[in-house]
Structure 1
Amino acid sequence: MSLFDSVDHYYARYRPRLPDHVVRLLAGELAGAETPRLLDLGAGTGQVALSMLAVLPPTARMDLVDQDEGMLRTALDELRPRLGGRTATVHAVPAEKFAPAQPHYRVDLITCCRAFHWMDRAAVPAMADRVGAPQAVVAIMGDGSLRTHSAEWTVALRGLIQSHLGEDRRAGATGTCREPGRRYEDDLADSAFSDIVEHRISFSRAWTPLSVLGCLRSISFARPDLLADHAGFEERAEDLLHQHAQDAVLHEEGVFTVLLARRPGTTR
């Protein structure tokens, strides 16, 4: 069983998509490409692809890579009614093992959102070098999680989770997840994509208590099978969230970090 089995519905419905400013930043990297191709790694249920659709021309091609076939099926279900002339192909393989069938395949933009920490962080840029067009850009991005944000309600929620599961960040059925000892910038600097620019984009996000609970069901550190009394946990979490909500809304202010990396000496 993979880490995110049986959470496709919650992942698709409650995981936030990209902020508009991030979408525009990525779209700028595709400007001028006649038939732009986007390769999304750790695609989940298609949050990046769905966010990008509005700025992609009808000629655009998208490849979604994820180890979880169920999530990719859900991604296609979400994408198909919205594609227009665009195409979306899914690949149920680890990111570093992606190998296009087309002999002259070249991708313009390679994205990885909230997922790079789960991957082989040396092998993924090497794969990107093999499939990337000469001016390809790699975008490693993320905005933390409900566990790391510093709003009053997220701090209280984290305390409740830790009271059930301990202070270590849980991952999977029995393990824990340690923070990486190496920055993503260092991984990219050691790759072909060593020309790196960091963008920090502020965002505001609104949640309801129920949407927070739905999102928690999709997240590795608080998924239902970690909690012996999940129903009791959700009842306490809902009470806590209602106490912190203002007019039934929970506000989150955060920063979306985007690392844009390209091969030295190349510009679009």
Structure 2
Amino acid sequence: MTYPDVPFPDLPPEQEALFAAAAATYARYRSGVPDAAVRLLADILRGRSVPVLLDLGTGTGQVPLALRAAVPDLAHIEAVDVSQQMLDQARDALAPALDRCTLTLVRCAADAYRPLKPLPGEEAQAPDLITCCRSYHWMDGPAVLKMADRVAAPDATVAIMGDGSLWTLRADWTRALRGLIQRYLGSERRAGTCGSYSEPRRSYEEDLAASPWSDVTEHRILVARIWRPDTVLGYLRSTSFAGAELFGQRHAAFEDEAHTLLHTHAIDGSLVENAVFTVLLARRPGSAS
């Protein structure tokens, strides 16, 4: 099920277009959710009679797909994204895994989300878990947290998760790669074709502390990933800071230089990413954990 057939009003066009061109590449090259993080989220939903997930900024559906496998009795998934192309990828990934679980795909900005009214004879399905994975920094965070308070179950949990990107990773090979990108595109980190990326004015923790979701626990998961030069190039095509459209006719030249640079830094053809995947689990004070 998908609703509405057109976006909610006031969907920012620059956000809608940000990852649209890279949706298929994103599905192929972006790293999934670490197993330890999936277990944390699954533990929240276990024991619920009708567990419901609301995934904001779902992208290609990585979080709901991982939780569908980890929580066999997951009853309903609401997957929200501003990009129809991303939602199409999410539908293709999730449909074969649904079985009795129902799915609603919602094309809107996260803070504008509102649940459909239940049909006569049906009960409302308030989410027990609301997730933002590698997406919260693109959102109006305080507005999203207010929305979550309106729609979530009384004892729900909000999970904000992420691990940075190859732009922010501190390694010799990523510093060299970032320098090459900057030589082509300028010193500022790009945010698609709409301009430069601006860091959030407040940390996620500060947003949560000022929200109804101020009971927060942090989990830091060490992750080691192995890349090859060709998979790094595929990943870059899926990003807002080095997507092919940013380079125009110079993209092939950039990829040739990047491929040579990455091979220079690779050991036995491999490049290592040592990252920290952080999971912030937030609840309303006094709610059951």
| Cα drift, residue 247 of structure 1 | 2.2
The whole-number CA distance in structure 1 between the counterparts of 2:202 and 2:171 is 26
User: 1:15 is matched with which residue?
Assistant: 30
The whole-number CA distance in structure 2 between the counterparts of 1:59 and 1:140 is 20
RMSD over equivalenced CA pairs, Å: 1.3
User: 1:243 is matched with which residue?
Assistant: 264
- Cα deviation 1:104-146 (Å, max 9, x = unaligned): 2310000001111111111101110111101100001100001
Alignment of 1:1-268 (within 5 A): 2-103=17-118, 104-228=124-248, 229-268=250-289
| Cα drift, residue 167 of structure 1 | 1.7
Corresponding residue SS for 1:134? coil
The whole-number CA distance in structure 1 between the counterparts of 2:233 and 2:245 is 14
Check the 8 A contact 1:194/1:264 in 2, yes or no: yes
The whole-number CA distance in structure 2 between the counterparts of 1:52 and 1:156 is 36
Alignment-mate amino acid for residue 205 of structure 1:
R
Which stretch has the larger CA shift, 218-227 or 84-93? 84-93
Which stretch has the larger CA shift, 19-28 or 1-10? 1-10
Corresponding residue SS for 1:107? coil
| Cα drift, residue 89 of structure 1 | 1.6
The whole-number CA distance in structure 2 between the counterparts of 1:60 and 1:155 is 44
Corresponding residue SS for 2:156? strand
Which stretch has the larger CA shift, 98-107 or 13-22? 98-107
Aligned residues: 268
Check the 8 A contact 1:34/1:59 in 2, yes or no: no
Check the 8 A contact 2:161/2:280 in 1, yes or no: yes
- Cα deviation 1:145-183 (Å, max 9, x = unaligned): 010011221111111111111221111215111212211
- Identical columns (%): 54
The whole-number CA distance in structure 1 between the counterparts of 2:267 and 2:95 is 37
Moved over 4 A (4+): none
Corresponding residue SS for 2:33? coil
The whole-number CA distance in structure 2 between the counterparts of 1:119 and 1:156 is 29
| Cα drift, residue 56 of structure 1 | 1.4
Corresponding residue SS for 1:51? helix
The whole-number CA distance in structure 2 between the counterparts of 1:25 and 1:237 is 37
Q: What are structure 1's unaligned runs of at least 5 residues? A: none
TM-score (norm 1): 0.96
The whole-number CA distance in structure 1 between the counterparts of 2:40 and 2:132 is 14
The whole-number CA distance in structure 2 between the counterparts of 1:254 and 1:59 is 29
The whole-number CA distance in structure 2 between the counterparts of 1:185 and 1:231 is 40
| Cα drift, residue 189 of structure 1 | 1.3
Check the 8 A contact 2:218/2:278 in 1, yes or no: yes
The whole-number CA distance in structure 1 between the counterparts of 2:102 and 2:253 is 44
| Cα drift, residue 59 of structure 1 | 4.1
